[in-house]
Amino acid sequence: MSAELDQLYQTIILEHSHKRSGETEQDVSSAGERSGVSHQYNPTCGDEITVRVAVTAGENPTVEAVEWNGEGCSISMAAASVLSEMAPGMTLPELEAMIEHFREMLRSRGQVAPDEEILGDAAAFAGVSKFVARVKCAMLSWVAVEDAVNQAASKARTT
């Protein structure tokens, strides 16, 4: 197989696509007091994910848990799994900064190198940015988490 392909499908991505963190059999489509839910769908390939993110109470909440139900390609499933491992414990500005850098890297067509300090395991997705058609796959769950965490945070601040 080609080196280019191996760059896209890094071992860490293939591992996460098989052994998925955050994925649950339970339905996550209803939100609780300090959680938000987001459903994202990619109409071109049919990939879809529903993510529920819970945050801690108070003025400066942190991410408590990420759970999801989804169906899709190895890139989209692995991206959801990696984020589910990394997000818990993060403050919302930290999470936002990480998502922003992830997005910037993916959209750069290989021009923006990953900052491993910020991205950790998610740096493995750097190879995706050269495969323009797959950027959406990697972003799907991250967009869902971004949306869900914002809903959760606004609830947490008002309760």
Partner 1 sequence: MTTTPLDNEQVLQLKQDFPLLTETQVAGHPLVYLDTGATSQVPLAVADAERDFTLRHRAAVHRGAHTLAVEATDFFEDARATVSRFVGADPYSLVWTSNATEGLNLLSYAMSNATAGSNGSEHAERFRLGPGDEIVTTQAEHHANLIPWQELAARTGATLRVVPVDERGLITPQAVAATLSERTKLVAFTHVSNVTGAITDVPGVVAEAQKVGALTVLDACQSVPHMPIDFPALGVDFAVFSAHKMLGPTGIGALYGRRELLNALPTFLTGGSMITKVTTEHAQYLDSPVRFEAGTQRISQAVAWAEAVRYLEKIGMDRIEAWEAELGGRLARGITEIDGVRLLGPAPGVERVGLASIDVAGVHAHDVGQLLDVAGIAVRVGHHCAQPLHRELGLTASTRASTYLYNTTDDVDRFLDELSRVRGYFRAEGA
- Quote the least distance from Cβ 5 to partner 1, whole Å: 5
Residue 122: partners with Cβ closer than 8 Å, 6 or more residues away: 79, 82, 83, 86, 98, 102, 114
Question: 28 and 51 in contact (C-beta within 8 Å)?
Answer: yes
3-state secondary structure of 72: coil
Looking at the Cβ atoms of 62 and 74, the one nearer to partner 1 is 74
Give the one residue of 21, 62, 74, 150 binding partner 1; rule: CB under 8 A. 74
Query: In the range 32-61, which residues lie near partner 1 by CB under 8 A?
Result: 44-48
Looking at the Cβ atoms of 57 and 132, the one nearer to partner 1 is 132
Q: Is 115 in the site for partner 1 (CB under 8 A)?
A: no
Cα–Cα distance for residue pair 112/48, rounded to 1 Å:
27
Binding span for partner 1 by CB under 8 A among 6-14, 21-29, 87-95, 117-125: 6-14
Question: 72 and 140 in contact (C-beta within 8 Å)?
Answer: yes
Cα–Cα distance for residue pair 70/77, rounded to 1 Å:
7
- Contacts with partner 1 by CB under 8 A lie at 1-2, 4-5, 8-9, 14, 17-18, 44-48, 71-75, 77, 131, 134, 137
